[in-house]
Structure 1
Amino acid sequence: MNLKDLIRKEVLSQTAYPAETLSCRIKLDANENPFTLPPPLKDGIFEAMKKIDLNRYPEPGSHRLRARFAQHYEVERDMLMIGNGSDELIHTLCTAMAGRALDVIVPVPTFAMYKISALNNGHRVIGVPLNTSFDLDLGVILEHLATTKAATLVFLSYPNNPTGNCFNQQKIKTIIEQSPGIVVVDEAYFPFCRKTFLPFLKRYENLVILRTLSKIGLAAMRIGFLIGPPSLIHEVDKVRLPYNLGALSQVAAGFYLDHEAAFLKQAEEITKNREELFDALKQMEGVHPWPSEANFIFFSCDFDVDSVYNNLIEEDILIKNFNAPGIMRNCMRVTVGNHEENEEFLAALNNTIAKVRRVV
């Protein structure tokens, strides 16, 4: 017996998520917060975790945490669901809608997990390339929404990963208004732009919002939130795995609410560093950064970025290489680091560009 015959064809056709396994001294590839917690806060969170009985299961459904974050986001408790990071919630939403004809519409380029989760659940993915300004091609998206005979699920990263820009708000509203299905606005990078669709939840019954604590400093804990109409959350919650959020993660999430000001202060520092990094990249000949509202900067080069990427690794610096034919040709993404990391990256990039040009 060939064991592969037991696996669904949608899974066989996929590759695993391409998470970077390289280890470099300066890691600017995964859009993480470069700052650790101040020692008093780090001690505080560890003390809180010491009270956990590791032989006991965590609170199922994170009910107390749901109530606290619902109040934090100013929504009703039954409008919010907590997951093991946004990735789990994206997958859970796609799973809840599996078994029926579903068109999942995503911009290209955008966060890879939308496509991966949709395909792994047997859905058809329609990728709509962004225009030359990295904004939504509204006409093409509306045409798909108007002509499809299937139910629809639209994923919009806001700001978009990897380009860093917030799509035009009116375009998103138009998509929500004309969509026969659900529109998910992923606000993973909200701390760095402070733009949100939360106020529109009462207006649009087909709007769902994703939030996470990963980008603001708790990536190791994997804490995400799905916020939407109670009727949808009630159904999606049925396919959520029990005990999906560990006890330590629940403690960390509560700790975040108790000390949010410290996390937001770090987000402000990252935003300041982002502008300085953008200005420095803009001064480099042959480097073209795109204005960002996230904690990373997307940029293109006038030369082979594969060589740039490999040379940076030799300098013990890791960023994300997006080089591909078309709009992504010679494009890369760098996470905003602390001041010292950014300075080392800029110096290494200058040296690397000089090397690449000499070879050419």
Structure 2
Amino acid sequence: MHAYAIQESRGLVKLDAMENPHRLSPDLRRQLGERLAEVALNRYPGARIDELRAALARHAKMPEGFSLMLGNGSDELISLVAMACDVPGASILAPLPGFVMYAMSAQLQGLKFIGVDLTPDFELDERAMLAAIEQHQPSVVYLAYPNNPTANLWDDAVIEKIVQAAPGLVVIDEAYQPFASRSYIDRVAKHEHVLLMRTMSKFGLAGVRIGYMMGPAALVAEIDKVRPPYNISVLNCEAALFALEHESVFAAQAQEIREERSRIQRELSRMPGVKAWPSDANMILVRVPDAARAFDGMKARGVLVKNVSRMHPLLANCLRLTVGTADENTQMLAALQASL
């Protein structure tokens, strides 16, 4: 194995990690600082955690009869699901290419991981997915909605067939929901074995590390048994509550990112030799003639993106571009054009 690597980004336009590029206004930063200064750092997290859970439930319009648990980012929740489902013969299944933590959580927990390749256009391979479910009877099926790094939403009818066929849990990962054209939240209540996972990282708080997972109360209660006590710090909790009180600010940021995403896609469509896939996230997957050359050229011109070309054969010569501010995106497009 290799540890999760973070690229060095000092002095570069950082467009490699799907972060919201916008900071709070100076006035809101001052207000937040005053709030955090009053937090009792000498006490373990208490009732404010429950207030955050309630605030997130309202924000997400959580269905009646559901419960919500918090994680130190979605990464911890993914690990907890693997831990909770660690019984003899357990396995985890997910489409590939996809988020690396699905496979890593299985490996770290000693579970079998089954990866099912997407089609060449990064759609779910319905026949292959259903065959793999029938053969392996996985304990957990992960479906990212939209997917990372391909940034697309999959066909809802195929997703429903997979959900119906799954013998264990299905986890719908909506990490990029603020930028997506639709959500699974309206359908999740139809199933007793489906969990919906989201994060505040793409909301605009990547540094705060708040992930949350919703599902039928009895099911969430079982997974909550393996959650470490006090896994959310009082500072992170207070920052998240503050952000939810100002969610209109973050909604405006998400709208700007969606508009910039459209502009980037228009510009990419004019670049000879570049293929860009449709995106429902704050990233765009592109294929270029030579990913290594383009990546190095962009970095030399001060722009850092993600070279995903070696993650999976389907991603040959692909780069993942995070949508930044208008100025950052202009720099990124110029650097890409010059590096082709």
Q: What is the TM-score of this pair, normalised by structure 1?
A: 0.90
Distance in 2 separating the partners of 1:90 and 1:56: 27
> Cα deviations across residues 303-354 of structure 1 (Å, max 9, x unaligned)?
x21111112211121100011363111000010011110111111112212x
Partner secondary structure for residue 86 of structure 1: helix
Contact 1:159-1:293 at 8 Å conserved across structures: yes
**Quick check: 239-248 or 62-71, which moved more?**
62-71
2:295 to 309, 312, 321: 309
Contact 1:159–1:167 (CA under 8 A) maintained in structure 2:
yes
Query: CA shift at 1:92, angstroms?
Result: 0.8
Aligned to 1:102: 90
Retained in 2: the 8 A contact 1:67–1:77? no
More off after superposition, 177-186 vs 307-316: 307-316
Cα separation, 1, equivalents of 2:89 and 2:309: 33
Secondary structure of the structure 2 residue equivalent to 1:167:
coil
Q: CA deviation at 1:60?
A: 7.2
Q: Which one is further off, 192-201 or 285-294?
A: 192-201
Instruction: In structure 1, give the amino acid aligned to 2:90.
Output: L
Q: What is the one-letter code of the residue matched to 2:102?
A: Y
CA distance in 2, matches of 1:307, 1:153: 38
Partner of 1:198, secondary structure, is coil
Identity of aligned residues (%): 39
Unpaired runs of 5+ in structure 1?
A: 1-13, 354-360
1:141 maps to 129
What code does the residue aligned with 1:90 have?
I
- Report the CA distance shift for 1:24/1:174 in structure 2 as closer, same or farther (over 3 A): farther
1:24–1:286 distance in 2 versus 1, CA, 3 Å: farther
Aligned residues: 338
Deviates more, 1:292-301 or 1:48-57: 48-57
Q: Which residue of 2 aligns with 1:276?
A: 263
Displacement of 1:29:
0.1
1:123, 1:24 → 2: CA distance?
A: 40
Q: 2:116 touches 2:132 (CA, 8 Å); kept in 1?
A: no
Instruction: Give, in angstroms, the shift of residue 52 of structure 1.
Output: 0.6
Q: Which has the larger radius of gyration?
A: 1
The amino acid of 1:86's aligned partner reads S
The yes-or-no answer on 1:197 pairing with 2:184 is yes
Residue 195 of structure 2 contacts residue 214 of structure 2 at CA under 8 Å; is this kept in 1? yes
1:323 equivalent to 2:309? Answer yes
Return the alpha-carbon distance in structure 2 between the equivalents of residues 52 and 77 of structure 1.
32
Q: Is the 8 A contact 2:288 2:294 kept in 1?
A: no
**Segment drifting more, 60-69 vs 270-279:** 60-69
Distance 1:310 1:221 in 2: 31
SS in 1 for 2:139: strand
SS for the counterpart of 1:188 is: coil
The CA distance in 1 between the partners of 2:87 and 2:102, in whole Å, is 17
Structure-1 separation of matches of 2:336 and 2:41: 46
Tell me the CA shift for residue 251 of structure 1: 0.6
Structure 1 residue aligned with 2:13:
26
When structure 1 is superposed on structure 2, of 169-178 and 41-50 the one drifting more is 41-50
Structure 2 equivalent of residue 8 of structure 1: none
Q: Does 1:300 align with 2:291?
A: no
Give the counterpart of 1:218 among 193, 201, 205: 205
Residue 240 of structure 1, aligned match among 227, 239, 242 = 227
| Counterpart mapping for 1:105-184 below 5 A | 105-148=93-136, 150-184=137-171
> 1:261-310 CA deviation, whole Å, 9 max, x = no partner?
000000000000000011111111111111111001000012x2111111
- Alignment-mate amino acid for residue 42 of structure 2: N
- How far apart, in 2, do the equivalents of 1:223 and 1:277 lie? 29
CA contact (8 A) 1:48 1:251 kept: yes
Q: Is the 8 A contact 2:72 2:210 kept in 1?
A: yes
Aligned equivalents of 1:22, 1:68: Cα separation in 2:
34
Which among 36, 39, 48 is matched to residue 26 of structure 2? 39
Per-residue CA deviation, residues 74-130 of structure 1 (Å, 9 max, x unaligned), is 335861101111111011111111242122111111111111111111111111111
Query: 5+ unaligned residues in a row in structure 2: which ranges?
Result: none
> Does the 8 A contact of 1:164 with 1:296 survive in 2?
yes
Q: Does 1:88 align with 2:81?
A: no
- The one-letter code of the counterpart of 1:316 is G
Alignment partner for residue 67 of structure 2, among 48, 73, 79?
Answer: 79
Cα 1:181–1:339 shift into 2, 3 Å: same
Contact 1:61 1:242 in 2 (8 A): no
Q: What SS class does the counterpart of residue 190 from structure 2 fall into?
A: coil
